[in-house]
Amino acid sequence: MAAEARKINVTRLYTDAVGESHFLDETLELQEANFAPPAPPMYLSSPVEAKQAVFLLLPSGYFGDLHPAPRRQQMTLVNGELEVRVSDGEVRRFRPGETVLVEDTSGKGHATKSINGESVVFVVQL
């Protein structure tokens, strides 16, 4: 019997050919695997090579105006709430457990605001 697959949603933040940043909702497929025997099987994505990982703490009221990302990175909100505006004008709020693949390393970039208290973000630099 083939291993069962599951899917999770990930938001991608990218720059188009004219330098505008946009959001794109993507689905990531996970495959059942024996990742940590003797624990029961769990669901894993394909591996992604990472250079380093850090935690960011954005104080309550933090605001970073439009800026491109310093490098390609995956950000997962641990606690708090973030409001992100891309240069095309769309605004989204991210809550704990949500992940954004940040790829707008050129162009106008995005603005980030910590709302409703401080926010902690786990960042994996790719």
For 80-122, write each residue's pLDDT tens digit: 999 999 999 999 999 999 999 999 999 999 999 999 899 999 9
Q: Which of 47, 108, 106 is nearest to 74 (CA)?
A: 47
Quote the CA–CA distance of 99 and 10 in Å, as a whole number: 6
Quote the CA–CA distance of 46 and 5 in Å, as a whole number: 12
Q: Write down the pLDDT at residue 58.
A: 97
CA angle 59, 61, 67 (to 5 degrees): 90
For 25-76, write each residue's pLDDT tens digit: 999 999 999 999 999 999 999 999 999 999 999 999 999 999 999 999 999 9
Looking at the structure, give the CATH architecture of the domain made up of residues 5-125.
Answer: Sandwich (2.60)
Q: What is the DSSP string of 22-60?
A: EEEEEEEEEEEE--STTSPPEEEPPP---SEEEEEEE-T
